[in-house]
Structure 1
Amino acid sequence: MTSRFTRLGVAADVARIAEIYNQGMADRTATFETETRSAADIRRWFDVGYPVFVAGKDETVMAYAVAFPYRARACYEGVREFSVYAAREGRGQGFGRSAMQALIADGQARGWWKLLSRVFPENTASRKLLSSLGFREVGIYEKHGRLDGQWRDVVIVEKLLI
């Protein structure tokens, strides 16, 4: 019997989270980043207290969601920028949804008022997931960054938590 879970991430998850992030980076559909992340890189998220939620099955993390400060200015204290990634073998199975639901609930409990992110327009799976969770597409940043020598647009998404 498969045992599914969603929980707060722990230090023992950092290598798997790095692996999942690096898959998304290699696929070129989720981030402008091109340098792989190490477990030590991910460990810093835990060291500074970023909320990281993981979801998986049979003790294997299949997805994670994390929130970072949006801007340093005090007026943006309740706004967080998030990322959600699912392992290739776990995509389309609800793990990203579970991790995001936990992150949303945590943000509400903390009194945050908004989660936001940017998504590549062709990342339809992520856009569909976020829409189903109540995120709205605000607009498009055109030529927001370069990836592999190509200018790429991003769709801005946000969800009000209050």
Structure 2
Amino acid sequence: MTAPPTVRAATREDRSAIAAIYNAALAERASTFETRPRTPEDIDAWLGKRHPVLVAEENGSVIAYASTSAYSPRECYAGIADFSIYVAPRARGRDVGRHLMEVLLKEAEAAGFHKLTSRVFATNVRSRALLGRLGFREVGVHEKHASLDGVWHDVVVVEKLLLANVR
């Protein structure tokens, strides 16, 4: 068993690695409806705000990232964050995602969020299993949520309460 990766806040220096990891997932067509590759400049908009963005690093190389973003622009939902997590193909199957998500949960709680939520392709059984082990609840299914390359996909809505911030 190898040591867990180092997890830390993402910086501007990580932008290219984050974009490359996302673009690898985009090419696989199994976890995002987006079709436009991301550039390092696209990642700039994610950094330095209330919403945590983390990277997992191994031997000085970024091998995964997790990001949070606003669930809704409405003020009443300010305590909820959407999240995404992507692991580089070379780092999958080694518990990198679990380590990264454990830190993301702590960082989101420290940032004052009371809930994390996301939508996961229904066919993405590995991600769904990981999130289940971390205490995420599958809320329901959005049927035919979006079309990707002419094929409709269902997504499973997941959520987890961050109890320290539920008052």
Q: Do they superpose with TM above 0.5?
A: yes
Within the alignment, does 1:13 sit opposite 2:14 as a pair?
yes
Match of 2:45, SS state, is helix
Is 1:20–1:85's contact at 8 Å kept on the other side of the alignment?
yes
Q: For the residues of structure 1 that align with 2:93 and 2:137, how far apart are their CA atoms?
A: 20
Matched positions, count: 162
CA distance in 1, matches of 2:126, 2:92: 9
Give how far 1:56 is off.
2.4
Return the alpha-carbon distance in structure 2 between the equivalents of residues 49 and 39 of structure 1: 20
Query: Which residue in 2 is equivalent to 1:23?
Result: 24
**Counterpart position of 2:38:** 37
Write the deviation string for residues 43-89 of structure 1: whole angstroms up to 9, x where unpaired.
22115453111112101111111000000111101000000000000
1:34 alignment partner AA: T
Paired residue secondary structure (1:45): coil
Quick check: 1:8–1:53 contact (8 Å CA) kept in 2? yes
Unaligned runs of 5+ in 2: none
Q: 1:108 offset after TM fit, Å?
A: 1.2
Partner Cα separation in structure 2 for residue 131 and residue 3 of structure 1: 20
Q: Report the equivalent of 2:57.
A: 56
Give the TM-score of the pair, scaled to structure 1.
0.95
The answer to whether residue 133 in structure 2 is matched with residue 136 in structure 1 is no
TM-score of the superposition, structure 2-length normalised? 0.92
The one-letter amino acid paired with 2:95 is G
Runs of 4+ off more than 2 Å: 1-4, 47-50
- Distance in 2 between residues matched to 1:32 and 1:82, nearest whole Å: 15
Unaligned 5+ segments in structure 1 are: none
